Structure 1
């Protein structure tokens, strides 16, 4: 996981503990005041949300406890490894696209962050600038040239 990925998880954890969970506790107390709990939809919804919050807290804490943080800026490699930001040229369309290879938890294709476990990342690992690679994508087999590799 990158330092940014860890920071985002820690922010979410803090938000859940300081905002979501206290609000949920207040919702449960308010719903209890409405009367019979066996037929109280507000109470049931608040208790259900309590379970979801607890599950997310446990999930984040588990991920943080198992994660190894790697700062891409400290990596000195001419080959593509975890943390690389890679600019590719699609050899069919001449389009250029840039991806950062990150941990599974922090991947977000809309922001150009792909999981180290994704087919594209797996096809790039170990390659160098100038290499041409064929990668199986959801759109079929694509051929790319590696234009630039940066660690930042």
Structure 2
């Protein structure tokens, strides 16, 4: 079972519909068009379209499984006194006094450019259930990070 936000769930549903209703029919048309060109053994367009069809079908099956096991979290029932899923955590790196903020998200919603890290990441795992003022140490590839939690905000 995967917990996620309503926004993340809606994005996955929209992407799945895009794949099923737009991209897959385009690939099927490309296969039919390439098949009409004759000899399939040396037809690059046909083999490329078949590979793309396989990739799309695999992605569609994966997304269907994710959505079948997804549970949307009701954020109104969550407290903001400790770090958990769908929390924005403001913290200070005690090694260099740099300030950073991350939102703890499901693995399917994680996107570092948007400031969302996976709940399964080492930093999120170290932050879980901690409170404002707590200092956590976490081992990352660059070394040991020492982080102080400055603020916790629940997403609405």
TM over 0.5: yes
Q: State the partner residue of 1:64.
A: 67
Could you tell me which of 52, 55, 72 is aligned with 2:55?
52
Q: How many residues align?
A: 152
Normalising by structure 1, what TM-score?
0.95
SS at 1:68 equivalent: strand
Matches within 5 A, 1:136-147: 136-147=139-150
Q: State the partner residue of 2:85.
A: 82
* Higher mean C-alpha displacement, 119-128 vs 3-12: 3-12
Q: Do the aligned residues in 2 keep the contact of 1:72 with 1:84 (CA within 8 Å)?
A: no
The alignment status of 1:32 with 2:35, answered yes or no, reads yes
Q: Using the alignment, how far apart are the partners of 1:11 and 1:96 within structure 2? A: 34
Could you tell me which of 23, 27, 30 is aligned with 2:26?
23
Q: Do the aligned residues in 1 keep the contact of 2:93 with 2:145 (CA within 8 Å)?
A: yes
Q: Using the alignment, how far apart are the partners of 1:26 and 1:136 within structure 2? A: 50
Q: Do the aligned residues in 1 keep the contact of 2:80 with 2:153 (CA within 8 Å)?
A: no
Q: Using the alignment, how far apart are the partners of 1:66 and 1:96 within structure 2? A: 35
Gaps of at least 5 residues in structure 2 are none
Q: Using the alignment, how far apart are the partners of 1:119 and 1:73 within structure 2? A: 26
The alignment status of 1:110 with 2:140, answered yes or no, reads no
1:113-151: CA deviations, max 9, x gaps?
A: 111111000100010011111111221111111000000
Could you tell me which of 139, 143, 148 is aligned with 2:151?
148
Q: State the partner residue of 1:120.
A: 123
Quick check: which one's helix share is greater? 1
Gaps of at least 5 residues in structure 1 are none
Normalising by structure 2, what TM-score?
0.93
Q: Do the aligned residues in 2 keep the contact of 1:71 with 1:83 (CA within 8 Å)?
A: no
Runs of 4+ with >2 A deviation: 71-74
